[in-house]
Amino acid sequence: MIEKGLCSCNRVEMDAQMKVWRKAHREGKIFIHDYNCKTSTQAPDGKEWHFLVVQGADLEKSWNSPIGLFLLGEYVSGTIYAFKSKKNRDAVQKYVMKPK
């Protein structure tokens, strides 16, 4: 799992990563909080992007991503993933965070 930064994956990579995240979430190691899943319009193309932030459970050991300030308007700890589709972003979050 990537610990720091901004990430963008193709479908095959994301499907594999979702399984890793789901297992990590069930083990209490990561979370994807609704309040960090945001949408914003980015320059220079003015396109809308949908962001998902994967955070470690131990926030004291987490890194604050400075790119979050630019993309989300606030510092966030964890790794930021950008989606072109809100539907896909929300589906990833729902899959990972689904209770056992």
pLDDT in tens, 4-32: 555 667 889 889 999 999 999 999 999 99
pLDDT at 95 over 80: yes
Residues 80/68, Cβ–Cβ less than 8 Å: yes
- Residue-wise pLDDT tens digits, 35-81: 989 998 876 778 898 999 999 888 777 777 777 777 787 888 888 88
85 Cβ neighbours under 8 A, 6+ residues apart = 50
The total number of structural domains in the chain stands at 1
CA-nearest of 55, 57, 52 to 91 is 52
Range of the domain at 69: 5-97
- pTM given for the model: 0.82
Query: Which residues lie below 8 Å from residue 94, measured CB to CB, with a gap of 6+?
Result: none
